[in-house]
Amino acid sequence: MNNIKIDPTWKKALEPEFLKSYWAELTANIRGQYQTKQVYPPAVNIFKAFDLCPLDSVKVVIVGQDPYHGAGQANGLSFSVNNNIPLPPSLKNIFSEIQNDLQVKPLPSGDLSRWAKQGVLMLNSVLTVLVNKPASHAGIGWEQFTDSVIRTLNNKRTHIVYLLWGKYAQSKGEVISRDQNLVLTSGHPSPYSASLFVGKHHFSKCNQYLLAHGITPIDWR
């Protein structure tokens, strides 16, 4: 377990997962694929969401599905792309909703590290993907790991805002205690379902909840 390069607060909390047989199979599989195929994000960024947002710093969780599969896009944070990469359609819709909801214009960069450093856990359900093959690493163990991440947060922390966009993210959040946290649901921000995402005011509702519980709100720019 000592060779897992992840933030120490998460490493300690998730230690039981790292001792399970599926984890050994998953990591051997992923390590082999990085050596023989083109996999995103770069291996150093697989756990970037956790490294930028330690367990005790989490204020908000945004659940995505799997990383972007185009060249240079994925950087280890859900919905986020590297600096100087064109914004994917879902992220464009997220930025548009922020502007309409909060009357602030998000920065042009799609690198959402600026949110993660404030306590937004940008959690993909599946943490890796093959180039140009969406969902290619679904069903090999990542989902079990990220389910445990949400369970761990639910057991150890309260007053977290969960933004669950789309049916997939909503199913992922079924274990969350609604009486101790705020769970906001809507359609996915992709162009196919954006009409079910736009106008939900999740960003203002999130900050109102945080303020009501004495927590510094997120600067969504």
Q: Which residues are part of the catalytic machinery?
A: 66
Which residues neighbour 184 within 8 Å (Cβ) at sequence distance 6 or greater?
A: 161, 162, 163, 164, 200, 202, 205, 206
Dist. CA 141–CA 83, nearest whole Å? 29
Gap between the Cα atoms of 193 and 169, Å rounded: 14
Please state whether beta strands 129-130 and 161-165 pair in parallel, antiparallel, or not at all (unpaired).
unpaired
Determine the Cα–Cα distance for residues 81 and 123; give it in Å rounded to an integer. Answer: 14
- The rounded distance, in Å, linking the Cα atoms of 43 and 33 is 11
Please name the helix (run of DSSP H) or strand (run of DSSP E) that holds residue 130, with its range, or none. Answer: strand 129-130
Residue 182 structure tokens = 């705020």
Residue 168 CA to residue 210 CA, distance in Å, equals 25
Q: How far apart are CA 69 and CA 40, in angstroms?
A: 7
| 189/10 Cα distance (integer angstroms) | 28
Amino acid at 10: W
